[in-house]
Amino acid sequence: MEGLFPPDLLQRFDEIFDVFERDVAGLSVPTDGEVLSLIRNVVYALNALNEDCDSDAIATGERTVLCDYIDRTISEAGVDLDVLSARHGVPREDLTDEWRTW
């Protein structure tokens, strides 16, 4: 990855995901609102990073990897994203779409 992305950009991704992982780890019995807030916050942070890079930091391939990472991290914390997304009438793979600009 370092060949594709400058080290300072990778550092920013790491910082965003460090906060996200810490916040997810802090969930005990999360409400839908708490989970959606975590998703929204990480997506907003990634939006800002991408905008700072003239929308060149996150391309189609990276978008898929990032969304899968968000999904996997929350799922590994015990959140059933199929159930959560069904309660909100949105396909699981579209949970980031409301806030995502990349």
| Cα dihedral: 62, 65, 66, 70 (round 10) | 170
Question: pLDDT tens across 30-87, in order?
Answer: 999 999 999 999 999 999 999 999 888 898 889 999 999 999 999 999 999 999 999 9
75 and 40 in contact (C-beta within 8 Å)? no
Residue 80: helix, strand or coil by DSSP?
Answer: coil
CB 76 within 8 A of CB 58: no
Q: Does pLDDT of 3 surpass 70?
A: no
Q: Give the pTM.
A: 0.92
Q: What are the contacts of 60-64 at 24+ separation with CB within 8 A?
A: 63/100, 63/102
